[in-house]
Structure 1
């Protein structure tokens, strides 16, 4: 799918680490979270904040909840609240990778405890994919099948690893990439906050340098269920972030996506951007 513009096909560098980056990279965040054309309520939540009220710094999260009696909505909002709260309170005390790891473990345990104390919420869980940007370096925390992508030099790279049964089968060589992407069990999770006694979140601990023009994209699985990786790349090449998210919403709706869909688009620049833009109908903490 093309979004009415042309692009070149520059390849993403083999590594995103150790790229030169001048001082003072600013983060601008654009957000969308919608119920979609099929579901009757939104179990996704998104959250972001600029620690120390400084747009050189960022903590952002996308979460996709699961569970009956609206428990998924509760779990995803708890994940966003808890991750942001822990990171903001301990921003100066811990290195970003340690901060993310500890935040995930504590949030998970709190969600487990909450589920065990309420019969209607027992077993509730949520994915959680997050990014910290600090001192011109980026760190990723992740559990579940929401995703983090990087667009650099007009090429897209998936940063997070899907914690799903089907992705494990693909990594073990049991199925092809095409079979993975269209497998009927592709949404079966191996890890999520709240659903198991312990978790092993993916933490990209070696912060890699952000560069002017980079775009980070965090999204729930409703987005990539509706859009292919090529579609997402084309979407992120649209210059105006607000219009990119409008295209995302229109495309997901037109394709009758069966899930909620949520995303955070993070623009990296050397100058202060306009205030973040948000769409209607969302669970957002800022």
Structure 2
């Protein structure tokens, strides 16, 4: 699959362009969260913010909730709220690794406790996939089957690990990659916030250095249900980042995606195209 846009090549959607004399790379952020053509409400949430009002720093989260009457959207919103608020509050106190460890634990406990007090929300849970960028180093915290990819020099790498039964079967050598990707139980989770007694999120200890030109892509499984890794690579390879999610949305709808779909694209650049700093969160009901 290839994606082409020929009109209005200078368009910069929902952004302003700001050049800086300071060295280093900026995090230009583009977001999308949609109900999709089949579901009647959106249980995905996304959030991001620039700590210290510095667009070289970033906290971004994608969460995909599940369980009960409207409980999924509650669980995903709690996850985004707590992960974001905790990391902002203790940004200077803890290392990114410690920040993510404590924030994930707090989010998990809050979802469990909230579910105890409302029968309709009992057992609710959510995936949570997060990125922290600090001093040009990227760290991730992740649980569930939402994903983080990195495109660098034309090479796509999945950074996060799917916490699913089918991926465990693949890692154990019981099924092939093709069988994993097409397995009818591929969405059965082994780990999620709120649904297990003890959580074991994937959290990076040392991180990896970001480079100008990198694109970091976070998405819920509604995206990967209808886009292969090859499709995602083609999307992220588009020259203008502001068109990537627009194209993703149109294509997902055309493919009649059966789930909500959400994505955060982080374009690492020497140019700051992002709007003035403020916390942004989306849990869109369409």
2:9 match: none
Q: Distance in 2 between matches of 1:209 and 1:282?
A: 28
Instruction: Tell me the secondary structure at the aligned position of residue 183 of structure 2.
Output: coil
2:170 match: 170
Q: Distance in 1 between matches of 2:135 and 2:282?
A: 30
2:161 match: 161
Check conservation: 1:34, 1:282, Cα contact below 8 A: no
Instruction: Tell me the secondary structure at the aligned position of residue 206 of structure 1.
Output: coil
So what's the TM-score if we normalise by structure 2?
A: 0.90
1:81 match: 81
Check conservation: 1:58, 1:131, Cα contact below 8 A: yes
Instruction: Tell me the secondary structure at the aligned position of residue 225 of structure 2.
Output: helix
1:48 match: 48
2:12 match: none
1:1-286 superposed matches below 5 A: 1-4=1-4, 23-275=23-275, 282-283=282-283
Q: Distance in 1 between matches of 2:203 and 2:23?
A: 25
Check conservation: 1:44, 1:63, Cα contact below 8 A: yes
Q: Which runs of 5+ in 1 are unaligned?
A: 6-21
Check conservation: 1:72, 1:126, Cα contact below 8 A: yes
RMSD of aligned residue pairs (Cα, Å): 1.5
Check conservation: 2:30, 2:242, Cα contact below 8 A: yes
Q: Distance in 2 between matches of 1:97 and 1:79?
A: 17
Superposition deviation, residue 251 in structure 1: 0.8
Runs of 4+ in 1 over 2 A off after TM superposition: none
Check conservation: 1:23, 1:136, Cα contact below 8 A: no
Q: Distance in 2 between matches of 1:198 and 1:117?
A: 20
The aligned length equals 264
**1:134-190 deviation per Cα after TM superposition (whole angstroms, max 9, x unaligned):** 001000000000000000001110000000000000000000000000000000000
Instruction: Tell me the secondary structure at the aligned position of residue 226 of structure 1.
Output: coil
